[in-house]
Structure 1
Amino acid sequence: MTTSVAIVTGASQGIGRATAIRLARDFTTLVLVARSRDKLEAVAEEIQKQGREVLVIEADLADPAVPGKVVEETQARFGRIDALLNIAGAVPQIDLFEMTDAQWDAGFGLKLHGARRLTMAAWPALKESKGSVVLISGNSAQFPKASYAAVGTINAAIVALAKAFSDCGIEDGVQVNSVLPGPVMTGRRRSYLEHWAPLHGMSVEDATTKFPKDAGIARYGEPEEIAELMAFLVSPRARWMTGSVLRMDGGEVKSI
């Protein structure tokens, strides 16, 4: 099999972890980027069991100097980049009038600017390989509310950024798409439910049923389900898809 290299950010947990493990079926080499080395090493161990080569990079993509270093280290080790999956970036759900400038800056700094800088740094290599990029957003991009204004605003910016990159990619031969997950049962969401439920006199199991029902969906999504969509987008089967905004949310968004 010809060497193929995929960079996955936010790979230490949640959707990023699931995506990295899923991509090991299609790529010979995975570069895992996140802030927690211990968690990354655990993911790397799972991938190595599939006979794949893994490079772990402990880094904070909010630092403007980091994306270039990630690309330099990847190319020095493997000489190419075939896919980039920008998944890093958790944005706090805080009321619009309670968000501080620092919290706004932190959200934009990692999820938007981290993805922007890394995609730009990787672009020459992706242009050479005719590679693929995915930027993960969220379905709140299409219905921002006061209770999670930053999440919706930053996610909308991610979609716009992906559209701009895809326009460049038409000429350069780089495929770019964005994915909008709905409510997914990640470790972070599970921790939230474990904190929220007893405060409201509910079991975690009841809370896990309540929130999807309130959102008008049957259940929470699983990280592995989003990972399958991500893997499809960077596969040859999806090659003519570019500039697309794909929502996977269990039917939460009711508009056309």
Structure 2
Amino acid sequence: MNLTDRSILLTGAGGGIGRSLALQLSAFAPRLTLVGRRAEPLEEVASLVRDRGGQAHVVAADLGAPEAPARVVAAAQEHFGGIDVLVNNAGNVRAGRLAAIEESEVVAQIALNLTAPILLTRAALPALRASGDGLVVNVSSGIGLVGMPFYATYAATKAGIAHFGEALRREMYGEGVHVLTVYPGATSTPMMASSQAGPEHGFVYETPDEVAAATVAGMTDGSLSVVRGGERRRQMIDLNRNDPGALDRQLAEGKTELEQAVTGHSSL
């Protein structure tokens, strides 16, 4: 896909991977609608985008709120006259034993990680089809490929958005809309700040810029998926596919330490 001068709606744009995506996409002189919960960091990103030759429009919104996805899509269309690319990047996490997590924390993860991107995509589809070369980018997670203990709800949402994208890609095949799914590994973002998990627990970190660069490359070359996380993650994916019981036993060896490292992990 040629990203030059495209109208791109990007959620979770105020920090982390979303911020890096906005800045790297600026090289294509895009028309960016930047969406997030707080206006201040979005305005900062918008200023940087404009300095680099792009256009930017800020929409502060809680995507988990009723009617928010439709309102955000309408704002992007009204400001830039259409939507060529939708990047569903916004997300949240609450780790820990399922029995110890509040019901509201379960619902919040489902609302932002799964329900919101589905509704955003649904609302944007007419505009994406009208562009003639539309693209949906869904940011899943390596945990959407390999379910990790103490991330049960998060894993469900990230696997869900991945399969949503796969099904939609086939539904829209030949109809002018492509779907790319991105699976970041552990990334040094504000969302991960409260996690104590490191390489000894299977979490090898990349920078947001590295993930964003791989995502932009996938957008331009028509990839179906972008999988990050390095060699260790690839080994876990292969083992999970070929002998999931062996991975169960492997993860069980460090389960106590992992629980201690991630129980406080929350971006809610």
TM over 0.5: yes
**Compared with structure 1, are the counterparts of its residues 234 and 142 closer, same or farther at alpha carbon in structure 2 (3 Å cutoff)?**
closer
**Aligned partner of 1:144 among 135, 143, 147:** 147
Instruction: After TM superposition, give the deviation of residue 27 of structure 1 in Å.
Output: 4.1
In 2, Cα distance between the equivalents of 1:247 and 1:145? 16
In 2, Cα distance between the equivalents of 1:96 and 1:27? 44
Structure 2 counterparts to residues 104-183 of structure 1, below 5 A: 104-129=106-131, 130-183=133-186
Size of the aligned set, in residue pairs, is: 233
* 1:230 alignment counterpart: 215
Identity of aligned residues (%): 30
Instruction: Give the residue type in structure 2 aligned to 1:140.
Output: I
In 2, Cα distance between the equivalents of 1:246 and 1:4? 21
In 1, Cα distance between the equivalents of 2:168 and 2:28? 24
In 2, Cα distance between the equivalents of 1:100 and 1:188? 19
Give yes or no for contact 1:84–1:133 (8 Å, CA) kept in 2.
yes
Q: Deviations over 1:141-196 (max 9, x none)?
A: 1222331111111111111111121112203210102111111111232x326xx5
In 2, Cα distance between the equivalents of 1:62 and 1:69? 12
* Unmatched tracts of structure 1, length 5 or more: 197-209
1:246 aligns with 2:226: yes
Instruction: After TM superposition, give the deviation of residue 230 of structure 1 in Å.
Output: 1.8
**SS at the partner of 2:101?**
coil
Give yes or no for contact 2:27–2:53 (8 Å, CA) kept in 1.
no
Give yes or no for contact 1:15–1:223 (8 Å, CA) kept in 2.
yes
Q: Deviations over 1:6-47 (max 9, x none)?
A: 111000010111111111112421110000111101111111
* Unmatched tracts of structure 2, length 5 or more: 239-268
* 2:51 alignment counterpart: 49
* 2:206 alignment counterpart: 221
**Compared with structure 1, are the counterparts of its residues 98 and 68 closer, same or farther at alpha carbon in structure 2 (3 Å cutoff)?**
same
In 2, Cα distance between the equivalents of 1:3 and 1:187? 30
**SS at the partner of 2:13?**
coil
1:90 aligns with 2:92: yes
Q: CA RMSD in A?
A: 1.8
Relative to the length of structure 2, the TM-score reads 0.81
**Compared with structure 1, are the counterparts of its residues 220 and 144 closer, same or farther at alpha carbon in structure 2 (3 Å cutoff)?**
same
**SS at the partner of 1:234?**
helix
Instruction: Give the residue type in structure 2 aligned to 1:223.
Output: P
In 1, Cα distance between the equivalents of 2:146 and 2:77? 39
Relative to the length of structure 1, the TM-score reads 0.85
* 2:259 alignment counterpart: none
In 2, Cα distance between the equivalents of 1:13 and 1:165? 27
Give yes or no for contact 1:18–1:227 (8 Å, CA) kept in 2.
yes
Instruction: Give the residue type in structure 2 aligned to 1:221.
Output: E
In 2, Cα distance between the equivalents of 1:17 and 1:162? 22
* 1:188 alignment counterpart: 191
**Compared with structure 1, are the counterparts of its residues 154 and 141 closer, same or farther at alpha carbon in structure 2 (3 Å cutoff)?**
same
Where do 4+ consecutive residues of structure 1 move more than 6 Å? none
